[in-house]
């Protein structure tokens, strides 16, 4: 079956958050995060690929602007793989940096049912991280989130629909749209 092209769904999609709103939310998050991190050792800033990349980049600059240095690494754990519903989590890449004794700040695009971030957080703790906090651009509003995970820093809320743009894919397309859209209800 040939994939549905982005151009076929975008005209009917609903704009949920525009670029200015998202950029403003990221600035606010940077203010919140900056206040929580003091000390000599920079936090280990772990981008959750692929979706977290645009958000993480912007957040990192906003934190740098506020005088918070970060050490970068990344990981890739995925359970959607271009689909609109989640399956088993697959680890495609783990960070090369040791997490032992480090303050870890995870940056991801969306907290939906929470399986991904819960597994990542537990893994970071098992690796000996001193503290693991999570920043997400968006949280999806529903009551299906697993217990034990909550993002400390949340940019915006999105409705209980499949969303894409600003890092999030529609069948591996649309990640570089500078806004968040929801598929037609």
Ligand X SMILES: Nc1nc2[nH]cnc2c(=O)[nH]1
> Which of 62/110 has CB closer to ligand X?
110
Interface residues for ligand PRP in 62-81 (CB under 6 A)?
78-80
Of 44, 106, 155, 169, which lies in the binding site for ligand X, with binding defined by CB under 6 A?
Answer: 169
Q: How far is the CB of 11 from ligand X (least distance, A)?
A: 18
For residue 53, the partner it binds in ligand X, ligand PRP, none, with Cβ less than 5 to 8 A by kind, is none
Interface residues for ligand X in 52-111 (CB under 6 A)?
80, 110
Backbone angles phi, psi at 96, to 5 degrees: -85, -25
The DSSP call for residue 170 is B
Q: Are strands 44-49 and 90-93 parallel, antiparallel or unpaired?
A: unpaired
Region from 17-25, 34-42, 56-64, 105-113 binding ligand PRP, contact rule CB under 6 A = 105-113
Q: Is the Cβ–Cβ distance between 64 and 70 less than 8 Å?
A: yes
Q: How far is the CB of 48 from ligand PRP (least distance, A)?
A: 5
Interface residues for ligand PRP in 18-47 (CB under 6 A)?
none
Of 102, 112, 138, 156, which lies in the binding site for ligand PRP, with binding defined by CB under 6 A?
Answer: 112
Percentages helix, strand, coil for the chain, rounded to the nearest 5?
A: 25, 30, 45
- C-beta neighbour count of 176 within 10 angstroms: 11
Counting every residue, how long is the chain? 185
Residue 73's region, left for phi above 0, alpha for psi from -120 to 50, else beta, is: beta
For residue 165, the partner it binds in ligand PRP, ligand X, none, with Cβ less than 5 to 8 A by kind, is none
Told to check if 113 binds ligand PRP by CB under 6 A, we report yes
Q: What is the 3-state secondary structure (H, E, C) of 112-123?
A: CCCHHHHHHHHH
Handedness of CA 94, 96, 99, 105 (dihedral sign): negative
Q: Which residues bind ligand X (CB under 6 A)?
A: 80, 110, 112, 162-164, 168-169
Q: Which residues bind ligand PRP (CB under 6 A)?
A: 48, 50-52, 78-80, 86, 108-116, 169
């Amino acid at each position: 079956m040939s994939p549905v092209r982005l151009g076929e769904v975008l005209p009917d999609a609903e704009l949920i958050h525009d670029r200015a709103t998202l950029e403003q939310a990221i600035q606010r998050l940077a203010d919140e995060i900056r206040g929580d991190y003091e000390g000599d050792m920079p936090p280990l800033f772990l981008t959750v690929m692929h979706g977290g990349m645009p958000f993480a980049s912007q957040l990192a600059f906003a934190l740098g602007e506020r005088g918070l240095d970060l050490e970068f690494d990344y990981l890739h754990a995925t359970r959607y793989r271009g689909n609109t519903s989640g399956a088993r989590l697959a680890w495609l890449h783990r960070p090369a940096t040791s997490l032992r004794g480090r303050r870890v700040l995870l940056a991801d695009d969306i907290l939906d049912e929470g399986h991904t971030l819960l597994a990542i957080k537990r893994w970071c703790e098992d690796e000996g991280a001193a503290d693991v906090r999570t920043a997400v651009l968006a949280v999806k509003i529903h009551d299906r989130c697993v217990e034990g995970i909550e993002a400390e820093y949340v940019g915006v809320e999105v409705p209980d629909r499949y969303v894409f743009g600003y890092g999030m894919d529609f069948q591996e397309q649309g990640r570089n749209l500078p806004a968040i859209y929801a598929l037609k209800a």
